[in-house]
Structure 1
């Protein structure tokens, strides 16, 4: 028996596929008879006899998994059959024509209840959101998030302008609304209260007057956070939390994490054992408790939080930036001014879209999931372990779906379902489609009866990515404005964790921003040096690119799993610390090249697969990233003495030439953090009384 054909058919309606198969017309002769079967059909070749005395036969059958239909064709003998190639080619072409890719738009909200509006299209999603506390509000948030993301992707040439120069006149209605408003004065104004509050609290404790704006009630999260002890240590060293406070924030800590991708349809060289990473994302943080504690520390340091407040626009002048907002419950206008505006609004940031001409991101991970507080049968999952990356099937309706599972507090388990996605106006990526998948296929991933589960809250969002060649190819700053976190596409290309990426780079960002503020170096030419670019991360974007099925394209269903298993199989053979460094964005030039060569040697087809998915243009872009990574690694090796030298001359250089010092400090971090080799400073920035800044040089 030999497998001849394996297709992904992008529809969940397997009955329609089977009905069509049993009526399809194929280019056969009179010696071939077609017989319908419950799962497809058989082609019997009556003119030949097989080895066991039965007629030679092609068997075509279908099955359903992940709300997707799959088809395989097998030949029962070893030798080719008459017209075999023509028959299978015709079958493939007709299937593609009859069942093309379909990228549905969310329905309009036509009634007072979002449940009523979405029930026909997304019945499972509506059903299980109704089981969650505040489910209607959460589903409204999912819908709002998707609509805002789609608007940005589908209108890339016309991003909404929200940043203005102080000379530009606002619309008359806005001018009348804000003209009588007094202005609160701050050093820093953060827009976005999730990742933003962590950085805001750090800066407030350094002595700066900080304002945090948050559209939602402060402390509400639609994602959970996982990190390792070593990574969280940077927040302790910065003085934001004590070791005891960190322990109080831990919801769960598991002993080992697993990485395993479906390989039943992979060739032998693309099968892999389970990769164990016991110190990757093994700490589940109580996100809401973390935000609450960060908010308390921000207020204790003199900062303010305006929650349920929507950012409208900012006017940038030579001396300050003025932010105009609306308090949503009261619809009252309010404005504040500060020395610097920090964009921490995440993927939906209108500031990020405007700064980058409407093309803020190259890729995205639409991510959905839920926190489930019990209801699984004993033995389904051991809370001592985490499932860091897992797939239980091949490409599903143009996406390679990947699961994550992390133990939480008590009996809680946090599930995520996501896929790596190429941003495309016809197919921006849908949270609602993903949620319908999530609730339907969860029992396929982990045995359960969804009706018996205790649904605590949803977790969802768009996690962006930007394919950078060098630090300067993405704009993250303007005069008196800087972006951090997801708004700056600060994330890991492998596990797409914006929280971990921000925490890992927080000492670097804090030191540079503190230096710029102390010396009033707040023009774009200075602020653009304050970024968390890592050349060792930029070179790995081709890895995530290889996990994206281009919009409108069909590729072999097992292709993405085969590539993932090739790389993770090699990591599983390496010392544990190498896999740990790779997943945490700490892999250096030599380990990266060694792994790439091993992968190409083990699976030579890998290069062709990547070419097919990425194309010549992106491969050339990647070559630029690789050259930049190589040069950065070489400079880090040659100039490894520079950070120590910079620390020695700081007392003399900084007060005399602050702009030169900021540049030198940024270069020092680029030689360490920028190649995945962070170095602890002898002492973190210290709280200080802000004095009138010196004139920049």
Structure 2
């Protein structure tokens, strides 16, 4: 009885073709019974997979219940109005001294720096600990890495060695899989093969455990299972209030709580993201051919999903859990609006499309994990300037992300040295006001210019462009970059946009495939192109400044007053990193 909703049956038209009800007799009466809702294929698959406990960070949960929670969050984002909302006020400014307040003797600990969010925050925390600062991490879950591997190159991981977070041999200890060559593929167009790009599968479980031990050995403290309830910023301190009515005292608080940090929501006033990357995928066992990887593979045409359209892209890598194990991602770029596809809808299409893409039957695979995530991006204020004294955003929370995947680990490795040195200098000089901290998350034209890529790779309604336009555009661009050689292709594949390579690529595209230009205007829109032109010109300007002005200014830094020197160092870094000139082949 509990499986059915019963309604009396009068034997007339309720049994028409397509009627979902079934007849059931109970005593002398006949009832129409509506069977309990049939579980979706995604639900059946996910509930058949054994999952461990959730961990912090994007992609740290694998259960069907967590998928439904994330889909609900995504639906709320899509249905939100464009007007500025009033989010929860997490950070409050208190215009007096903490040492004279009635809380002065109640802090459970006092530190130079408190890092909120440990999954990626452990890296900046360890880098600062290595410089001699007293640092503590506050993490609402257990501080451990997720099971699913991170893909990166050894060159990027060496950045962690240079700032003292890892020893070089730690890279080998944390590496679960290695693979070459790596493909950039375009369905029905062709393939481009590269070496040593995203060719390491790093185990977050091992990597974070290694860094965690180093952090503790350097004197770092970790508060696990603690949620941030609020932050009070005094003139002489920042007070972190935990949900357990405990407080921690520090000179600086670093917000590493990710894309959906409550502090970021407050700063952005609840504004909708301008774009979202939706990601679904699996780690599965049963792949006989499993030696190389796909950095990106684009579908030949736009697909219909629900009430909207989506252009699908793929990534696939051997997994470190076994020789026949492989991770496959399907992702798409969308604008958050009513009718946008849900993650579960994407997964329903994934079960049909992935076997064709990978050349394997779904029945021959053992699903080890189902992976999903949403990654937002904003056109304005990315990176996000500090809005409060003594509070600084880091990682995904800061908006310093990959221009392609919107993820933050690769960006973290490139910027960790710059940020840890800048924070250390700010702490030594007590340059902790918002205008000083904002210099650590400066305007970067290469990141702003990359917004156009996401817009061009998003399927649009009513644009009158061919269904295969995005695939054709990507193939044309990658083919031109390959012709121009490694100095052009490799930086872009490692999420670095530079003025010279970008200019050469655009010029060659216009020369070799000029007929594609009208479709670009239709797909992207003239206002977006005009806005992008400003950032493109600034990219050239920053390249000029870093190349020619930096050598003139740098010798005089040590002759300037300390605060002026601090600010000029940050300007030189902004020119260099904003032009992508920190990247070396």
1:354 maps to 2:266: yes
Where 1:134 maps in the other structure, the secondary structure is coil
1:676 maps to 2:580: yes
Q: 1:551 and 1:313 mapped to 2: Cα distance?
A: 42
Q: 1:132 and 1:341 mapped to 2: Cα distance?
A: 39
Q: Could you report, residue by residue, the CA deviation over 1:108-142 in whole angstroms, capped at 9, with x for unpaired residues?
A: xxxxxxxxxxx958612112212322279622333
Q: 1:289 and 1:502 mapped to 2: Cα distance?
A: 18
Question: Which blocks of at least 5 consecutive residues in structure 2 are unaligned?
Answer: 1-35, 55-62, 96-102
Residue equivalent to 2:225: 308
Deviation at 1:532, TM superposition (A): 6.3
Structure 1 residues 527 and 179: alpha-carbon distance in aligned structure 2, compared to 1, 3 A threshold: closer
Q: 1:408 and 1:603 mapped to 2: Cα distance?
A: 38
Moved more, 146-155 or 601-610: 146-155
Moved more, 215-224 or 232-241: 215-224
Q: 1:217 and 1:340 mapped to 2: Cα distance?
A: 23
Question: Which blocks of at least 5 consecutive residues in structure 1 are unaligned?
Answer: 1-118, 169-177, 264-270, 327-331, 681-697
Contact map agreement 2:546 2:576 (CA 8 A) in 1: yes
Q: Could you report, residue by residue, the CA deviation over 1:353-384 in whole angstroms, capped at 9, with x for unpaired residues?
A: 22123236322211122222x223x3xx332x
Where 1:183 maps in the other structure, the secondary structure is coil
Equivalent residue in structure 2 for 1:500, among 390, 410, 413:
410
Q: 1:473 and 1:496 mapped to 2: Cα distance?
A: 12
Deviation at 1:228, TM superposition (A): 1.0
Residue equivalent to 1:628: 538
Structure 1 residues 552 and 167: alpha-carbon distance in aligned structure 2, compared to 1, 3 A threshold: farther
Contact map agreement 2:386 2:438 (CA 8 A) in 1: yes
Deviation at 1:440, TM superposition (A): 3.3
Q: 2:552 and 2:396 mapped to 1: Cα distance?
A: 30
Residue equivalent to 1:641: 551
Structure 1 residues 429 and 187: alpha-carbon distance in aligned structure 2, compared to 1, 3 A threshold: farther
Residue equivalent to 1:213: 138
Q: 1:166 and 1:639 mapped to 2: Cα distance?
A: 38
Deviation at 1:555, TM superposition (A): 4.8
Q: 2:488 and 2:130 mapped to 1: Cα distance?
A: 36
Where 1:442 maps in the other structure, the secondary structure is helix
Deviation at 1:319, TM superposition (A): 1.7
Contact map agreement 1:223 1:461 (CA 8 A) in 2: no
Where 1:417 maps in the other structure, the secondary structure is strand
Contact map agreement 2:145 2:205 (CA 8 A) in 1: yes
Alignment of 1:465-480 (within 5 A): 465-467=377-379, 474-480=384-390
Deviation at 1:670, TM superposition (A): 2.0
Structure 1 residues 441 and 473: alpha-carbon distance in aligned structure 2, compared to 1, 3 A threshold: closer
Contact map agreement 1:347 1:462 (CA 8 A) in 2: no
Deviation at 1:478, TM superposition (A): 2.2
TM-score between the two structures when normalised by the length of structure 1? 0.70
Residue equivalent to 1:388: 295
Deviation at 1:492, TM superposition (A): 1.9
Q: Could you report, residue by residue, the CA deviation over 1:409-431 in whole angstroms, capped at 9, with x for unpaired residues?
A: 13232211111222x23256532
Where 1:306 maps in the other structure, the secondary structure is strand
Deviation at 1:401, TM superposition (A): 0.9
Structure 1 residues 313 and 139: alpha-carbon distance in aligned structure 2, compared to 1, 3 A threshold: farther
Q: 1:164 and 1:536 mapped to 2: Cα distance?
A: 30
Deviation at 1:660, TM superposition (A): 0.9
Structure 1 residues 223 and 136: alpha-carbon distance in aligned structure 2, compared to 1, 3 A threshold: closer
Q: 2:398 and 2:74 mapped to 1: Cα distance?
A: 16
Residue equivalent to 2:88: 161
Runs of 4+ aligned residues of structure 1 deviating over 6 Å after TM superposition are 178-181, 551-554
Q: 1:135 and 1:472 mapped to 2: Cα distance?
A: 34
Deviation at 1:546, TM superposition (A): 0.3
Structure 1 residues 292 and 443: alpha-carbon distance in aligned structure 2, compared to 1, 3 A threshold: same
Larger Rg: 1
Moved more, 312-321 or 600-609: 600-609
Equivalent residues, number: 527
Residue equivalent to 1:242: 167
Alignment of 1:40-51 (within 5 A): none
Equivalent residue in structure 2 for 1:145, among 44, 48, 70:
70
Structure 1 residues 636 and 553: alpha-carbon distance in aligned structure 2, compared to 1, 3 A threshold: same
Q: Could you report, residue by residue, the CA deviation over 1:204-234 in whole angstroms, capped at 9, with x for unpaired residues?
A: 2222222222233221427531111111111
Residue equivalent to 1:227: 152
Equivalent residue in structure 1 for 2:44, among 113, 127, 152:
127
Q: 2:201 and 2:236 mapped to 1: Cα distance?
A: 43
Q: Could you report, residue by residue, the CA deviation over 1:623-647 in whole angstroms, capped at 9, with x for unpaired residues?
A: 111121121122223214147525x
Q: 1:487 and 1:153 mapped to 2: Cα distance?
A: 20
Contact map agreement 1:343 1:482 (CA 8 A) in 2: yes
Alignment of 1:175-214 (within 5 A): 182-214=107-139
Contact map agreement 2:179 2:200 (CA 8 A) in 1: yes
Residue equivalent to 2:507: 597
Structure 1 residues 532 and 193: alpha-carbon distance in aligned structure 2, compared to 1, 3 A threshold: farther
Contact map agreement 2:183 2:193 (CA 8 A) in 1: yes
1:251 maps to 2:173: no
Residue equivalent to 2:373: 461
TM-score between the two structures when normalised by the length of structure 2? 0.83
Deviation at 1:184, TM superposition (A): 2.2
Equivalent residue in structure 2 for 1:406, among 305, 317, 337:
317
Residue equivalent to 1:274: 191
Q: Could you report, residue by residue, the CA deviation over 1:165-199 in whole angstroms, capped at 9, with x for unpaired residues?
A: 2449xxxxxxxxx9996432222222222211111
Equivalent residue in structure 1 for 2:478, among 568, 575, 589:
568
Deviation at 1:247, TM superposition (A): 1.0
Residue equivalent to 2:435: 525
Structure 1 residues 153 and 355: alpha-carbon distance in aligned structure 2, compared to 1, 3 A threshold: farther
Structure 1 residues 135 and 252: alpha-carbon distance in aligned structure 2, compared to 1, 3 A threshold: closer
